[in-house]
Amino acid sequence: MQTQKNFNLKSYNTFGFDVSCKGFISCNTIDQLQGALSYIKQYPQPYLILGGGSNILFSNNFNGIVIHPAMKEICSVKENDEHIWLDVQAGVVWDELVEHCVNNNWFGLENLSYIPGNVGASPVQNIGAYGAEVKDCIEQVNGIFIENNQAFSLSAEACQFAYRQSIFKGELKNKTVITSVVFKLNKTESYNLSYGPIKEQVEKMGKITLPNVRTAIIDIRKSKLPEPEELGNAGSFFKNPVISKEQFATLHEQHSSVPSYPVTHDLIKIPAGWLIEQAGWKGKALGKAAVHNKQALVLVNKGGASGKDMLELAHTIMQDVNNKFGISIEPEVNII
């Protein structure tokens, strides 16, 4: 195990902020990860577990140790006529896993194509897109408790998944490192095409197939979202707010075009991007931090912006949305 001193994190955060950390440890095995956790116990200091950096905003340099889980194995652990179970280590790039599943004709993750980041972060955020959430395919999450360096396994139910939420953002926040996720995937045809323009996009290709669904999802995402290599961003910056049926009725009276998605009998999800656009922020900027001109949910680094610049923009948008609609929106990204 080697600690790299004064390590630049520009390539480890998709905003492309030019920030550094005091020390950086990349762990290619679980033993190395446990060694890194022992090190920060032996020499107490600030630390951060960092995967692909696709859902993080550094507001400044990090004055501590960054531990980077880089384990990248994909193993089949069980299989029957209907399902296959894959144990996927935390350092696997998320979209490479989705591509692997599609190439093997395993169903379940295709709607989550082209989401940036690594597998280890997927259950923390309960990533979702186009009518699917990763919790729908998770059987088990494995990891290590930071306090005692002991391994754990949690069932999907024990992970307390909710919209962009899990136990790893609640009770176990900053207390664990995820080492692998076990996914249960379908071997028989099963599609989720009900959300947005997916079905129409797939039908343009002539036939509904797993590769065509993945291609459609990627095409839709590319048409709306900038590539981080070209324009630094962390994907959706804000969570879509969930409001009561009564609050929605009032909102609908004032804004009849408001899009909505039922969450439960009493709760309605409103697209944060619509709220931001209606508040006049789509395509606008504060200095070098800006709102993307094709998708108001995405904040971008036009080049040379700092984390503080992005935070100032985010807080201004949140205030304007609240003033106009009486609805609070909050960041989906983790702010360090």
Burial class of residue 76 (count of CB atoms within 10 Å of its CB; 0-12, 13-18, 19+): exposed
Residue 317: other Cβ atoms inside 10 A: 24
Across the range 54-68, mean pLDDT stands at 95
Domain hosting residue 305, numbered range: 226-335
- How many domains does the chain fold into? 3
- At 6 the pLDDT is 95
Burial class (CB in 10 A: 0-12, 13-18, 19+), 308: middle
Among residues 188, 223, 258, which one ends one of the domains? 223
- CATH no. for residue 293? 3.90.78.10
322 — pLDDT class (breaks 50, 70, 90): very high
State how far the Cα of 315 lies from the Cα of 124, in Å rounded to an integer: 24
Domain boundary among 45, 69, 93: 69
Q: Give yes or no: residues 63 and 148 share one domain.
A: no
60 with 120, same domain: the answer is no
Q: Per-residue pLDDT tens for 214-226?
A: 999 999 888 888 8
Residue 314 CA to residue 233 CA, distance in Å, equals: 13
Look at residues 111, 104, 112 and name the one whose alpha carbon lies nearest to residue 86: 104
Same domain? 135 vs 190:
yes
SS3 145: strand
User: Do 232 and 130 fall into the same domain?
Assistant: no
Q: Which residue has the tokens 């095995």?
A: 29
Which is catalytic among the residues 164, 166, 180, 214?
A: 164
Reference 121, options 112, 130, 111, 131; nearest CA is 112
Q: Is the pLDDT of residue 240 over 80?
A: yes
Q: Which two tokens stand for residue 198?
A: 């997916």
Q: Does 154 share its domain with 134? A: yes
Average pLDDT, the chain: 94
Q: What is the DSSP string of 199-225?
A: HHHHHTTSS--HHHHHHHHHHHHHHHS
Judgement on whether residues 144 and 116 belong to the same structural domain of the protein: yes
> What is the predicted pLDDT for the residue at 328?
95
Judgement on whether residues 95 and 185 belong to the same structural domain of the protein? yes
* Residue scoring higher pLDDT (131 or 94): 94
| pLDDT number for residue 235 | 87
pLDDT band at 116 (very low <50, low <70, confident <90, very high): confident
In terms of domains, do 259 and 279 share one?
Answer: yes
Is 236 considered catalytic here? Answer: yes
pLDDT of residue 263: 87
Q: How far is it, in rounded angstroms, from Cα 122 to Cα 204? A: 30
Q: Which of 37, 69, 101 is the last residue of a domain?
A: 69
Q: What is the pLDDT of residue 151?
A: 96
Q: Which amino acid is at 64?
A: G
Same structural domain, 82 and 148:
yes
Percentage, residues of the chain above pLDDT 90: 85
CATH number of the domain bearing residue 18: 3.30.43.10
Look at residue 271 in the predicted model and tell me its pLDDT.
94
- Residue 122: CATH number of its domain: 3.30.465.10
pLDDT in tens, 155-213: 999 999 998 899 999 999 999 999 999 999 999 998 999 877 888 888 888 889 999 99
Query: Tell me, what's the pLDDT at 226?
Result: 86
Same domain, 204 and 78: yes
Q: Give me the mean pLDDT over the 306-323 stretch.
A: 97
Measured CA to CA in angstroms, residue 19 lies from 13, 51, 57, 115, 131 at distances of 9, 16, 10, 23, 35
Sign of the alpha-carbon torsion through 264, 279, 117, 208: positive
- Give the integer Cα–Cα distance in Å for 260 and 80: 39
Integer Cα distance of 160 and 162 in angstroms: 7
Please give the pLDDT value at position 143: 98
* Burial of residue 240 (number of CB atoms within 10 Å: 0-12, 13-18, 19+): buried
- 3-class secondary structure for 260-329? CEECCCCEEECCHHHHHHHCCCCCCEECCEEECCCCCCEEEECCCCCHHHHHHHHHHHHHHHHHHHCCCC
**Domain shared by 55 and 79, yes or no:** no
The whole-number average pLDDT for the span 276-293 is 96
Asked if residue 305 and residue 237 are part of one domain, the reply reads yes
Sorted by sequence, the CB contacts under 8 Å of residue 212 that are 6+ apart come out as: 202, 205
Order of strands, sheet of 261-262, starting from the edge strand that comes earlier in the sequence: 242-244, 267-269, 261-262
